[in-house]
Structures are given as structure tokens and as C-alpha cells.
Chains A and B, each alone.
Chain A
Amino acid sequence: MASIEMKNIVKKYGDGFPAVNNVSIDVADGEFVILVGPSGCGKSTLLRMIVGLEDITSGEMVIGEKKVNDLAPRDRNLAMVFQNYALYPHLTVYENIAFPLRLAGTDGKELDEKVRSASKTLELDEHLDRKPGNLSGGQRQRVAMGRAIVRDADAFLFDEPLSNLDAKLRGQMRSEISRLQKKLGITTVYVTHDQTEAMTLGDRVAVLKRGFLQQLASPRELYTNPGNLFVAGFIGSPPMNFLPATVKGNSVKLPFGTVEIPEDKAKKASRKKKDLLIAGIRPEHFEDASVVDPSKKGSTFRAQVDVVEWLGNEAYAYIPFEAPPEVQKQLEQLERDLDGESLRTQLVVSLDGASMVKEGDDAEIWVDTSKMHLFDPETGENLTIDLDNAGEIPNHDEAGVVEAQEAV
């Protein structure tokens, strides 16, 4: 067992491309930390630097008080589960699990006991004599985990371990991994692009974008207090709505009408003295006004509903709107960062299943303005953030400014 400390880690490739940029993350002993972000954000590179498969350009990697920058992977005593499992096709399941032990010189009874105990934990007993080629995806996954737990590694590293499984199996394996980690109490770093995995598994989640750490916080903190537009857009499904907003006093002018926001938020928002901001509101913070208890605080507005998707327990309503060019540009950039495509700007509203709103209706929508965030359209910074409950947000304003300039 050990903690993992990353201090100002930088990874530059020969062409000068910085895959990882000045990232510092502390993983406490026994903690489960997720590295998440869209493709090319450097999460896998970071993981591979922890395990020693990539050189560290600069910065310090400390595992359990020991600087490991120059240690070969085999000297770091870490266990890793690869995306494609990396099972040895010429060895049986038993020998696959036993492989690290054999390399370490363990043999005889001790080896057999350890392998059998691992296989029991993972319910692989009946497959021990089979070759990996004859196993299903879920079984292969478990063999890969068996190979990791069989040794007394200081930490587990997972590189998108569930991305090759189908949706149902992924759910099962997710809870399996979580249970196993709790049981063994082992320090774990887990790379994924899937925000569901990030939210459900991690004690803390590090969100990365293009090599920069955006925010390191607990899932709840990330969801309720995203540090910037990127994190806000990345975490949550359906994603947060972003609307052009003009703040005057306590009132915010949105494309659909003017709503009132709490005074403390209004104060924070006026800090930068900008007229035009981007408002971020999650779909579930809207509701069909007719089903809301009138005692609840908030504002209402009327809008033409374009499409309604009724799912039984809830319904999604889509409401198109026009955004001014400054906001439009920032939103397009955001879509690109999130690996998406910029489609039309529309508001997604989650309604109660009981709502009777239909397509084409001019509906009255209620919005919980206390949950609204306001972002600086140039830097993407969340102006209304509650810093006490937002984990760590590294200060890299230069980068934010550079990106804003690129976007223009």
C-alpha cells in the first residue's frame, strides 16, 4: 500500500507537443482516484507515466515516499489492467494469473494458494485450464484483474478497463471493481472517458483537458460546483445547458425571458464587470411550471417547445434559441473540446413524467435559479462557484486566456 504523488508532471513528445502539462495530483493511501477526460486529454499518458511505460519529461513521481522517475516498470511494484486486458494468449488462465508470481520467484504451494485465492475471489475457478482466447469479454476482464490482485502490489492502475465490454457487463464489472477495491483497500488510479464510471467509482475525480488538470474533486463537488465551462459540460448527462445571459442587479436576461437570481450569486457574477455572461443550468433544474409546488422558489418563463421525448419517469423537452456570436463561438469551442459536434443551440429541459407538455406547445417553464452557474464567456471560468466545495482547481489562467484567444 502506498500513496502516489504527482508533482508538476510534464510530458512532452519530440515534436514539442505537451501531452501532459504541469499536472499535480495526490492520491492518498487507499484512495480511488479517477482520471477522466475526452480523447487526447493526456489521461492515459499520465497513467503510463505512473507505471513507468512512458518517460517523465519533468516533474516528480513519488510512490510511497520514493521517487520513481527513473525506475523501470518492474521495480515499481504496481499492478495494471490494460484496456485490451493484455492476457498472454499462449498461457492458460492459471498461468496468466501466476505469471507475476513466477517472475518474482514464488513457486510451489505459496503460488498455488495465491492463484487459487485470486481465482476464487473473481469466480474463475472453472476456467483455470482454459486459454484466454476461449473466454468471454467479462471473463478476460476478470483474468486481467486476477493477475493484478495476485501480487501484493502497492497500487492498482486501470486503463479504460471496461471500454471493450457491452453496456450490461460494464455495469456489473463496475460494481465488481468497486467492491474489490473497497475490500482490498488498495490505492487505485483508474483512467476512463466514461463519466458514469468516473462518478460512480471514484473517491475523487481528476478532470483533464488537453494535458491540463481542470479540477480535482469528489464527484458531488464536480457536479454541483464545476470550476469552468469544460467541467460543467463534461460532467452530467444530458449535459448542462449553456445560455447567453445579461446580468443586471439580481435579474438575469436569458433568451426566453428574465429571471431572478439569489443576491450572493449576483454579487459574484458582477465581479468581472462584464455585461454578457454564459449561464449554465442543468436540465433537471427546469420543470413544467404546472407540476411545481408553488411554494418552491424560482422563476418561470414561457417558451415554444420543439420536441418532447417522454421516457415514463421523466420527459425531455427541447427548446431552440439563438445565441449572440461571442457566446456561440465559445460554445462551439466547448463542443470541440468535448469531442462533440456543434449542432443547433437548444435548451434541454427535464420535465416530470406527469407533465402534459406536448410538441409545439407554448409551455410555461419553471427554473431553479439558485442552482444556476454563471461563466465568463472569455476564460470559461465559473464566476459563481462555491470554492469551499469545489475540490482543487489549479490556477492556469494563462492557458485559459490563450485558449480564449485561439477561439477568436
Chain B
Amino acid sequence: MSSTYIATAGEEDTKVKKGPKKGKPESERSKAENTLGRNLVLPAIIVMLLVTAFPMLRALYLSLFSYSLTAPEDREFVGLSNYVTALSDPLFWRDTGVTVLYMVVTVAVELVIGFIFAMVMHRVIFARGIIRTSILIPYGIITVVSGFAWQFAFSYQNGFVNSWIPGLDTTFNWFAESTPAIVAIMVSEIWKTTPFMSLLLLAGLAQVSEDMIEAAKVDGATWWQRLWKVILPNMRAAIMVAVLFRALDAYRIFDNIFVMTAGAVGTESISFLTYRQTIEQFQLGIGSALSVLLFLSVLLIAYLIVKLFKVDLAAARQEG
């Protein structure tokens, strides 16, 4: 008991750092630090803005014109009518609906499979290197290649999927109708991005302390209860960040659609529609309006996810 005295008088402040470290600048040194800091980040800011903010403003400007590259001389200010055209077109709403469908289904499936993968990778002792290497292959592979691989796999002429699914006609054409085509696209998307999801979740899983799980075991929690009451709540931040990243990424789905169906049979996403208007049909006016709408909808989704799930980005970034 006598040692407790030494402890209170002595060892307390190893944890507490010595006073506030950072403060507002005032001295020469911190002024120099400010200048240096600003100079160091400046190139990054310029490059990032050059290709985002400036084109975005330009898109905003162009969206107010009727402007086609096939007839550039006919450029004409039309106010918001491009937006009216887009928003009153059922195609826009159908594509938005399809895009949301892609996003919701792929993210949900990836979350479940990714979590299972993360659990396995977290527990696995043997062949750790092999598994981690394999999981990086889908992540690293070009999306276009993934699209081709799955398109050919689903093809009734040269693929293997039809013969592997029992009870399915071997001549079934996946790309003739909307629903199976969308399923095929989703499969490619899910295959390619689940590894990324599972790695993010693995990092979150690694931060749930084993002690806490063991404590729950001692307290009598079943495996299921431990998962839901201990592991998942403590991984909240990781899960939310993974969902946010993936959802925004999935909403921009483009490559797989381009390669697998080229937007046919109602598989077109909002990104694809925008691309088609601007690059293929040279309709820069309406295309720009669609760009702005796409940008706004991504913002809206980000906002909804952050608000709905209360994602703490600062914590996720370790800035907090």
C-alpha cells in the first residue's frame, strides 16, 4: 500500500502531455511555419482546383446555353431551360433510379460479403500472405477488364455461367433484358470492389480490442451477441466510412456499363447518360446541365449519408 503514494506523487503525468502544444501563431518561428506550410500545400491546391473547380464553374456556365459542338456558331443563352428539359425527361429519372438501384444493392452486398471476408482475414493464421495478395488482385485489376471477364462469363455463346447454374437454359441471354443485364453488371462491380470494402473493414476490426471481446465472452454473450453488441458498435466509424466511400463511388458507376452493355436495355446510369450527351453527341449545353445535376446528386447523397449515419469524418481522418 505504501507504494500508492509514490504513484500519486510520481507517475501520473506520463499520459498527460506537457501542457498545450499548439497555439495561435505569434513568434517569428510560427510565422515562418505558416509561410512554409502554405507554400508546401499550394501546388496541391492549384492542381486539384485546376481540374475540378474551374471545369465545374465552366459547366455551370455552359449549362445555361444551347450549345452543340456540331454547330458551335449557334450557341445561344437559354437560361435554365436545359435543366427543365433534363428534369422533365423520364429518361433522366429512369437512369437516376437505375443508378440508385446499383448503388444500394452493390453497397449492401459488398458490406455483408466484405465483412465476412474481413472476419476471415482477421482470424486466419495460415496463408495470410496468399489471401491478402489474392484479395488485392480484384482491387488492382482494371475495371474494364473485370467488365469484359464477366461479360464473357455471362455470355451464352462463350461463357460458363449458364452451364454452372442448375436449371438455367444454356441459351439464356443475360444481356437481352433489363433485369438480368443489371444483375450481370452488379456482379462485376461487386466482384471488383468487395476487396476494398473488406480491407477497410479489416482495419476497423483490428481496432476492436480482443480484451473487450473476451470480457463479453466471460459476461456470457453468445457469438451472435458479441458480434452485434460488441464488435459492430465498436467498428461503427470504419463501417460508415467504408459505406460512404463505396456509395459515392458506386453512384458514379460507368466503366462496367460501358463495357458490358453500352447502356442498352435500360442499364444506363446517370453518369453514362451525361457521358453520352457530352462526348458522344457533343451536346455540351444539356450535357453540362446533366453534369451539374450529377454533381449535386452526389453532394446530396454524401450529405444524406453523413447526416443519416452521423459519420464522423474528422475521427475517421484521425484529426479529432
Contacts and interface: CB of A to CB of B under 8 A. Distances in A.
Check if A and B associate.
yes
Interface of A: 13-15, 17, 19, 38-40, 42-45, 55, 57, 160, 163-164, 193-196, 234, 237-239, 309, 311, 316, 338-340
Given A14-B26, A238-B5, A309-B1, A194 B18 contact: no
Contacts of A39: 12-13, 16, 18
B2 A316 contact: yes
Given A39-B12, A238-B5, A339-B8, A14 B23 contact: yes
A148 B39 CA distance: 35
Given A45-B18, A45-B19, A55-B29, A239 B13 contact: no
B307 interface: no
B10 interface: yes
Interface string B110-125: 0000000000000000
Given A55-B27, A239-B9, A339-B12, A311 B18 contact: no
A45 B28 CA distance: 18
A196 B25 CA distance: 38
Interface in B12-59: 12-14, 16, 18-20, 23-30
Contact of B6 (A164, A196, A234, A338): A196
Contact of A311 (B2, B8, B25): B2
A339 B16 CA distance: 11
Given A45-B18, A316-B2, 16 more contacts: A13-B23, A42-B19, A44-B18, A55-B27, A55-B28, A163-B11, A163-B14, A164-B14, A193-B13, A194-B11, A195-B10, A196-B6, A234-B9, A237-B9, A309-B1, A339-B12
A365 B142 CA distance: 85
A71 B19 CA distance: 24
Contact of A15 (B10, B13, B20): B20
A40 B12 contact: no
Contact of B10 (A55, A164, A193): A193
Nearest to A350: B2
A49 to B, nearest CB: 12
Given A14-B23, A19-B19, A239 B11 contact: no
Nearest to A194: B10
A386 B98 CA distance: 88
Contacts of B26: 14
A237 B5 contact: yes
Contacts of B8: 338-340
Contacts of A234: 9
A316 B3 CA distance: 12
A304 B279 CA distance: 94
Nearest to B17: A39
Contacts of B28: 55
Contacts of A163: 11, 14
A39 B19 CA distance: 8
B20 A13 contact: yes
Given A196-B6, A316-B2, A40 B27 contact: no
B12 A38 contact: yes
20 contacts: A13-B24, A15-B23, A15-B24, A40-B16, A43-B18, A44-B18, A44-B19, A45-B19, A55-B27, A55-B29, A57-B27, A160-B14, A163-B11, A164-B14, A195-B10, A237-B2, A316-B1, A316-B2, A339-B13, A340-B8
